[in-house]
Amino acid sequence: MEPKQSELLDVEAIRKDFPILQREFDGTQLVYLDNAATSQTPDQVIDTIADYYRETNANVHRGLHQLSQEASIAYENAHDRVAEFIGAEGREEVVFTKNATESMNTVAYAWGLAELGPGDEIVMTEMEHHAALVTWQQIAKKTGAEVKYIPVDEEGYLDMDAARELITDDTEMVSVVHVSNTLGTINPVSELADIAHDHDSLIFVDGAQSVPHMPVDVQDIDADFFAFSGHKMLGPTGIGVLYGKEHLLEEMQPYLYGGMMISKVTFEDSTWHELPWKFEAGTPVISQGIALAEACDYLDDIGMENVEHHGERLAEYAYDQLSEFEGIQILGPPGDDRAALVSFNLGSVHAHDTSEILNDFAVAVRAGDHCTQPLHDKLGIAASARASFYIYNTKAEVDKLVEALEETEALFA
């Protein structure tokens, strides 16, 4: 009997919106479990992109003709929609970038180079994605600031006692991942924000793995900055979001210069456009932004609480099934306290071998260090395999993963 699905989602109806899920490889239907890297895109979002290029394609904020006006309105409305989706006060706090990495670099360069210096500290965690870790590491080298790391314990949780000791009056920025893309840990970002603000520090939250999977309210978290990407939440590639509190974005100088982001230009100097356009130099990500707004609509129609519940149930089910393998190593917290992913190593089988064999069964998972190389070094492993889930995945697909792993295990016995 096929395992029962979440009562809150009509998964079979959802799957019909995703044409790529119907693909077969050598007669075997695709099982896509690499959603933490990139989610698939529903017809509604694909159609939004196609309709833009068929009917509205024009540059924004630069033309008085009808197409430009229509594109400008749609693009500006997309900022409003994304602001609503994450609980921002308005479009002034939502900057469109090309990905979460660019969002982090924008703050690191526009704020960090101006504000950091010798004696200042940046506090991160040992589970940070390279997008944050490498960026702040390099900014620290440029400014003379020091980077410190909140330890991760054996179960994959942050050591919050250590966090309270590490975050001091010398701390200028706390940069923390909301959900670990390797461990599945859901970090207490609101508590970390309180600790940071008690020391007059700012907090930057990497929401790349949280915004697609759970309700997020940046004001409730009290994040000063928050970043995420469209391609992990049913949207297109090529668009990310930087949220920043309005007063902070007002005070910051732009990171990129050129057209669109200016108010007045002379041969001697320039002044900047109002928010958020001040940080969107050049022709922006117009079609991607409009499509991201459609992805927000799609997720809200399902209900983010339902999205969260479904993903957590699949992760717990997968954790329990994988735990039956002898000698398996599962990274991160227990199955009932994690986000929608499970990273693991099957005995002595290298993660890359696991992924390649699973591919023979049309099961797509990730293998490698997942852009968390220092974390893998701390755990004493070179790589891990990762199965990550989304709204269109089923428990039956987890069973197919398990069956393929049984075949993998037998090959290396």
Q: Using one digit for the tens of pLDDT, what is the confidence trace for 187-227?
A: 999 999 999 999 999 999 999 999 999 999 999 999 999 99
Amino acid at 81: R
- Total domains in the chain come to 2
Does 396 score more than 90 pLDDT? yes
Distance CA 148, CA 126 (A): 9
Is 51 exposed, middle or buried (CB count within 10 Å of its CB: 0-12, 13-18, 19+)?
Answer: middle
Sorted by sequence, the CB contacts under 8 Å of residue 130 that are 6+ apart come out as 371, 372, 373
Does 1 score more than 50 pLDDT? no
Please check whether residues 365 and 397 belong to one and the same domain.
yes
Is there a catalytic annotation at residue 296? no
Please check whether residues 268 and 375 belong to one and the same domain.
no
pTM: 0.96
Q: What is the pLDDT of residue 185?
A: 98
Domain termination site, one of 283, 301, 319: 301
Please check whether residues 271 and 335 belong to one and the same domain.
no
Position 5 in a domain: no
Options 58, 260, 371, 382, the catalytic residue: 371
Please check whether residues 308 and 297 belong to one and the same domain.
no
Full residue range of the structural domain in which residue 312 is found: 11-32+303-411
Contact 393, 314 (CB under 8 A): yes
* Domain of residue 324, CATH code: 3.90.1150.10
DSSP, collapsed to helix, strand or coil, labels residue 206 as: strand
pLDDT band at 4 (very low <50, low <70, confident <90, very high): very low
Domain termination site, one of 276, 301, 326: 301
* Domain of residue 172, CATH code: 3.40.640.10
